[in-house]
């Protein structure tokens, strides 16, 4: 599911969001132009999606603030401090997404018997994510 799809879904009425289930068995293209097949159903709560989207919106605003600092010739140490804050905030979002993936998606894949595929996809994602 793309971020834009998730954002669009957050505009659904509450009753539809709470019941939202997105099953997908389609391909995702990552930033390295590799294709990843997702075979598990994604079921994410309205609260979870809202929490992640809200955090990303705050990070987006913070980045715009850093851009303004640079345009206004703010001291480099101040800019670096703000960049470090954004990195920390992004890491926190990543932890939330990973936690949800482990507790929801991986657990569901285990119940459905396709845990090996999900573990391989997670390993591939972590290889790209971790420095």
Q: What is the pLDDT of residues 42-95, one digit of tens each?
A: 677 888 899 999 999 999 999 999 999 999 999 999 999 999 999 999 999 999
Environment class of 93 (CB within 10 Å of its CB; exposed 0-12, middle 13-18, buried 19+): middle
> Domains of the chain by range and CATH?
44-127 (1.20.58.1000)
pLDDT of residue 16: 38
Is 60 exceeded by the pLDDT of residue 27?
no
The SS3 call for residue 32 is coil
In angstroms, rounded to a whole number, what is the distance separating the alpha carbons of residues 106 and 122? 9
Rama region for 24: left / alpha / beta (φ>0; ψ in -120 to 50; rest)? beta
- What is the pTM assigned to this prediction? 0.63
**Under 8 Å CB-to-CB from 108, ≥6 apart: which residues?**
40, 41, 43
């Amino acid at each position: 599911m793309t971020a834009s799809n998730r954002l669009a879904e957050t505009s659904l009425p509450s009753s539809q969001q709470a019941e939202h289930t997105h099953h997908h068995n389609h391909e995702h293209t990552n930033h390295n132009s590799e294709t990843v097949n997702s075979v598990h159903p994604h079921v994410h709560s309205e609260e979870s999606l809202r929490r992640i989207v809200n955090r990303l919106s705050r990070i987006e605003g913070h980045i715009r603030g850093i851009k303004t600092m640079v345009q206004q010739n703010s001291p480099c140490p101040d800019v670096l401090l703000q960049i470090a804050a954004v990195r920390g905030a992004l890491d926190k979002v990543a932890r939330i997404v990973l936690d949800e993936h482990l507790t929801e998606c991986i657990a569901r894949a285990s119940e459905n018997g396709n845990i090996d595929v999900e573990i391989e996809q997670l390993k591939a994602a972590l290889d790209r994510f971790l420095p």
